[in-house]
Structures are given as structure tokens and as C-alpha cells.
Amino acid sequence: MVNLTINGQAVQVENSFTILQAAEQMGISLPTFCHDKRLTGHGACRICVVEVKGARSLMTACTVPVSEGMMVETHSPSVIEARKEILRLMIENHPLDCLTCAKAGACKLQDYCFEYDVKEGGYQGAKKNYPIDDSNPFFYLDRNKCILCGRCVRVDNELQCTGAINYNQRGFNTHIGIPYERDFEASTCVSCGNCVSACPVGALMPKSDVKFRQWEVRTVKTTCAYCGVGCQLELKVKGNKVVGAEPVETEPNDGLLCVKGKFGYRFLDHPDRLKTPLIRKDGKLAEASWEEAYRTIAGKMLEIKEQHGPDAMGTFTSARCTNEENYLMQKLFRAVAGTNNVDHCARL
């Protein structure tokens, strides 16, 4: 364990901790753009800078390991001024279209500018002017809003391990892109959207057929309904409509999803959804009430049981339904119908 002092308060932390982790342990929140706790510290955005007594300059809390006797100030005047300057440099070259930006309300740049009271850059420098890459059917990349924190690149290359995106060019011309300046559709991208989930600003954004404000949605944590990995995700819900999905950083997916988990919820309110029971009448399926449907099914089950015995009935339950539903279905057939003709598609 290591002893250090943060903002005049003594604290003891694990040897392996960074200043950022030590501050977090004390409940002190530091701003971060590039930091991702699943990855090693990057120190790209500099917004987490802190003052370390005896150090020549401010240090990035996300990369600097703690050491015995270290004295740290996280919100001293020089730290505050440095963070303001970083934010000014960022918004100097960032479209200030928060009024219409879909990320507003969930944008870290917006939040920190509010927190540090930064309204404008004030440099009148050169501006980025990149075309928007909307070649992917699920998301778009607006490089003009990118702050080059690099989280998307690292999530793609180190966690998703697809390696579709990286930095192109150098210096002021640095931008996130596909090799040879191709678009997403012409790349190795698998549309997992993990870069989109990682973007702290409005540069990588899901395409949406509904407009919504981030503060209009509530989130519901649930389990993905596609394959057997069981990824944890948060559905974003506006009114009675699911409008987005975000991965949760927990077992088993640890903040990753695939294209179906991230974007595949869109079948939910498809007009083809079955909305009422149907009963075949004169060879055609016709709308019916629940009462009629239950009466018809129950009548048939009792009739067949009576005439042919319980083993003339069977059920295919579902690997798509919940445990509770599978349990009840086999209970219905075993306890009520009286047969063990219960199976599902485990073999298929």
C-alpha cells in the first residue's frame, strides 16, 4: 500500500494505482475524455491534469502512478486554468451547435465547459472541415466534432480487436479514419458500434430514425436477446420506444457489444409485430379475443387427452424465452397435460 495526500487529505491506496484511481477512491471526480478503465492510461486529452508537489509541470492523473508521500492538488488555481485552456483549445475548433446536436446532454465536452465556465475558444484559428462519413447503415462519423481523445481507436484496436480505424495524418491534420482515407463501408469494420459507445462527444453517433434529447430517455439494464454470450446492455427508452442501446461494463461483456446487440433492437416496434390472437377460420387466420383463443386451445387439449391420451400432445418450448417461461411451459405439459413430450431447439 502507498500513502499519499490528495487535497490535504491523507489516503492509503494499492501500489498499482494511478493518481486518478486514488482520487476516485476518495470520491473526488476528475474530468476525463480519453480515459477508459479497461485500458492502460493514455494521457492524450490532458484534461485530468493535477498538481503534484515538486513536479516541474502539471501531470496527467490517468497515467501517473502514486508514490509514497506524494502531495496532490486536483483543483488548485493552476489546475483549473490549465483545464480551461484545454477546453478553450478544444471548442475553438468544434462546431458549437449544441442546440441541435443529438449528443447534447450526454456530451463530456459540453459538461466540462459548463463545469469550468468556458464559452468560447477565442483564438480565431483554422477550422476543420471534414465531410461526414455516413456510409455505415448504423452510425456516422463527424470528424469536425472529434476531439482526438483516441478512445474509439483504442477500443477498436485493443478491445474489439478489429482494427478498422486509426489516426490518419499528423499534427493539425490528424483525424480518425480508415486506412487510405476510405469510408467505413470499405473497411474491415464489423459495425459493432463499440467505438460509437466509447465516443465522449458527438463525433461517432448512432443513426436514429427518431429525434430525442438525451434527458428525455430513461435507461433499463437488461440482457441481450440474440446469442448465448448474454451481454449486459442498457436500453434507452423514450416514451414507449427503445431508441438506443449502450453496453454495460460488467460481466460477461465488459462494455462490448456486437452489431446485433447494439443496433438489433429495432425490430421491436416493427409494424409486422403480432398484436392480437389469431384463430384459423375457414382456412384463414382471423383476429380473435384472448378468451376465445384460450377456450379453443384448452378445449382441444382436453379433447385430445380424452381421446388419444396425453402423449398425443407435445410442445417445443423456446431457447429465446426466459427461464421462467420455459419452466412454466414444461410445467404446463408435464403437470397439466400429463406428458413429457417437451423439447426445444437445443439441437438445432
Partner 1 sequence: MTNSINELIDADTILIIGSNTTENHPVIGAKIRQAIGKGAKLIVAEPREIELAKEADVFLQIRPGSNVALLNGMMHVILAEGWQDKAFIEERTEGFETLERVVKAYTPERAAQLCGVKAEDIVAAARLYAKADKASIIYCMGITQHSNGVGNVMSVSNLAMLCGQLGKASSGVNPLRGQNNVQGACDMGALPATLPGYQPVSKPEVIAKFEQAWNTRLSAKAGLTVPEMMDAACRGDIKFLYIMGENPMVSDPDTAHVRHALTHTDFLVVQDIFLTETAELADVVLPAAAFAEKDGTFSNTERRVQRVRKAVEAPGSAKPDWVIIMELMNALGYKSMYRDPSEIFDEIASLTPSYAGMSYERLEECGIQWPCPDKAHPGTSYLHKGAFSRGKGLFKGVEHQEPVEPTDEQYPFALTTGRVLYHYHTRTMTKRVKGLEAKVPESYLEISPSAAAELGVKDGDMLKVSSRRGEISIKAKVTDRVSGNVVFIPFHFAEAAANVLTNSALDPNCKTPELKVCAVAVKK
The footprint of partner 1 on residues 287-306 (CB under 8 A) is: 288, 290, 293-298, 300-302, 304
Minimum CB separation of residue 132 from partner 1 in Å reads 17
- Interacting positions 242-261 with partner 1 (CB under 8 A): 242, 250-254, 256-261
Does the protein bind partner 1 through residue 210 (CB under 8 A)?
no
Residue among 19, 232, 244, 246 that touches partner 1 (CB under 8 A): 232
Compute the distance between CA of residue 245 and CA of residue 282 in angstroms, rounded to an integer: 43
Three cell numbers written together for 222: 437488461
Give me the residue label for grid cell 449502450: 246
Residue pair 65/76 in contact by the 8 Å Cβ criterion: no
Q: Residue 130 to residues 66, 106, 143: CA-CA distances in angstroms?
A: 40, 23, 6
The residue among 168 and 222 lying less far from partner 1, judged by its C-beta, is 222
> By C-alpha distance, which of 233, 252, 254 is closest to 244?
233
Helices 108-115, 77-92: axis angle to 10 degrees equals 140
Does the protein bind partner 1 through residue 282 (CB under 8 A)?
no
Residue among 190, 202, 211, 212 that touches partner 1 (CB under 8 A): 190
Compute the distance between CA of residue 172 and CA of residue 168 in angstroms, rounded to an integer: 11
Residues in contact with partner 1, counted by CB under 8 A, come to a total of 109
Q: Is the dihedral of CA 174, 175, 178, 182 positive or negative?
A: negative
Residue pair 116/49 in contact by the 8 Å Cβ criterion: no
The residue among 33 and 333 lying less far from partner 1, judged by its C-beta, is 333
Minimum CB separation of residue 161 from partner 1 in Å reads 3
Query: Binding segment for partner 1 among 24-32, 52-60, 140-148, 159-167 (CB under 8 A)?
Result: 159-167
The residue among 126 and 346 lying less far from partner 1, judged by its C-beta, is 346
Three cell numbers written together for 120: 468560447
The H-or-E segment that residue 25 falls in is helix 19-25
Does the protein bind partner 1 through residue 338 (CB under 8 A)?
yes
- Interacting positions 32-91 with partner 1 (CB under 8 A): none
Minimum CB separation of residue 204 from partner 1 in Å reads 15
The residue among 167 and 327 lying less far from partner 1, judged by its C-beta, is 327
Does the protein bind partner 1 through residue 225 (CB under 8 A)?
yes
The residue among 89 and 279 lying less far from partner 1, judged by its C-beta, is 279
Minimum CB separation of residue 307 from partner 1 in Å reads 8
Peptide bond into 252 cis (omega under 30): yes
Three cell numbers written together for 128: 476543420
- Interacting positions 114-153 with partner 1 (CB under 8 A): 136-138
Minimum CB separation of residue 214 from partner 1 in Å reads 17
Minimum CB separation of residue 322 from partner 1 in Å reads 3
Minimum CB separation of residue 117 from partner 1 in Å reads 37
Residue among 8, 126, 129, 272 that touches partner 1 (CB under 8 A): 272
Does the protein bind partner 1 through residue 227 (CB under 8 A)?
yes
Residue pair 184/136 in contact by the 8 Å Cβ criterion: yes
Compute the distance between CA of residue 83 and CA of residue 233 in angstroms, rounded to an integer: 32
Q: Residue 39 to residues 154, 155, 158: CA-CA distances in angstroms?
A: 8, 8, 8
Minimum CB separation of residue 183 from partner 1 in Å reads 15
Q: Who's near 111: CB < 8 A, 6+ residues apart? A: none
The residue among 7 and 315 lying less far from partner 1, judged by its C-beta, is 315
